[in-house]
Structure 1
Amino acid sequence: MDSTSDITIGQVVKSRAGRDKGRVFLVLEILDDKHVLVVDGDLRKLDKPKKKKVKHLTVYNTVLTELKDKLDNNIKINNAYIRRLLEPFNKSF
């Protein structure tokens, strides 16, 4: 499960290692087979996403297709939107 074939843009992930351990993020971009860019709209904003190794992430089955659609169609998104998408996950995980 260390390959990004399991990960898509808009996927909900949780950090397993590092200073941000336990935080919930959204996958913003897939860089290569080992790295992704993640954002949470709070600590990691859209203009400064965090590069994470896939092996340091717990990958959830939830994919927020709404985010993927907006990115695919170049619709502007902001940090408040990311925070709003992640709100239910911060409570449940």
Structure 2
Amino acid sequence: MLLNDLSVGQVVMSKSGRDKGRLFFVLKIVNDEYVLISDGDTRKLDKPKLKKVKHLIKYKLISKDVKNKILSSEDFNDAFLRCELKRLRPML
């Protein structure tokens, strides 16, 4: 699942909109232009943000834990996403 250098579980940063400068995980690639993103804080898993790919800064960092949980349809919560972003932030 790699499109426009994006993959499920990849860390991205919003570069426009009211969420500018915030880090998110890619939850789903909708099509060539849009992805669903969530950070577990302002954008919860039950209501992810539909965002245009051109409005995202893509990092090469992909959380294997998040990716595996999404692809295997395993249950996880917003706290897990927040902890993963906190853990990965120093690597950016």
User: Which TM-score applies when normalising by structure 2?
Assistant: 0.91
**1:35 corresponds to:** 34
CA distances 1:25-70 after superposition (whole Å, capped 9, x unpaired) = 0000000001000000000000000000000000000011111111
TM-score between the two structures when normalised by the length of structure 1: 0.90
- Percent identity over the alignment is 47
The runs of 4+ residues in structure 1 deviating greater than 3 Å are: 88-93
Matched, 1:54 2:53: yes
Q: Is the 8 A contact 1:24 1:89 kept in 2?
A: no
Counterpart CA distance in 1 for 2:90 and 2:38 is: 17
- Unpaired runs of 5+ residues, structure 1, are none
Deviation at 1:72, TM superposition (A): 1.7
1:82 aligns with 2:81: yes
Structure 2: how far apart are the matches of 1:77 and 1:24?
Answer: 18
The RMSD of aligned alpha carbons is 1.7
Which blocks of at least 5 consecutive residues in structure 2 are unaligned?
Answer: none
